[in-house]
Amino acid sequence: MRISCGCCLAAASNPYAGLTYLAENCTVVWPDGSIANKREDLASMIGDIVFTEFKIDDLQVRLYGETGIVVGQGTIKAHEGKQNLLGGKFVWTDTFIKQDGEWKWSPHKQLQS
């Protein structure tokens, strides 16, 4: 199984390229504790968001049949214009499920450590 976790995708030249991996019924829990569905999550990514740092210090992947769990920690910094959006050390858990023969990113939880 090849997994591109949502957090890893932000480090790519096009941080939105991995959004096709989002399951239709995904749930995202952001560092402030707010909960978003796919539509809300995608709407929050509109704009000129720039990731200035995305360093993964640890990434663990476990497979359970048609489910993959990814736990990671690292440093993320992002801004839009002069407004800082993210900054600091984070830990996250991503869940992937196999639907119609493709791996989809479903629940995601990210906490600032």
Task: With beta carbons less than 8 A apart as the criterion, state whether 22 and 107 touch.
Answer: no
Count of structural domains, the chain? 1
Task: With beta carbons less than 8 A apart as the criterion, state whether 5 and 70 touch.
Answer: yes
41 located within any domain: yes
Instruction: Examine the pLDDT at 4 and tell me if it is beyond 80.
Output: no
Domain span including residue 55: 6-12+24-112
Q: In this structure, what CATH number is given to the domain that contains residue 75? A: 3.10.450.50
pTM of structure: 0.66
67 located within any domain: yes
Instruction: Examine the pLDDT at 13 and tell me if it is beyond 70.
Output: no
Strand 67-80 relative to strand 27-29, pairing: unpaired
pLDDT digits (tens, 9 = 90+) for 58-93: 999 999 999 999 999 989 888 888 888 878 898 888
* Residue 12 pLDDT level (bands cut at 50, 70, 90): very low
39 located within any domain: yes
Task: For residues 19 and 23, give the distance between their C-alpha atoms in angstroms, rounded to a whole number.
Answer: 9
52 located within any domain: yes
Task: For residues 18 and 12, give the distance between their C-alpha atoms in angstroms, rounded to a whole number.
Answer: 9
* Residue 19 pLDDT level (bands cut at 50, 70, 90): low
User: Longest Cα pair distance anywhere in the chain, in angstroms?
Assistant: 44
Tokens, residue 65 = 């049949």
19 located within any domain: no
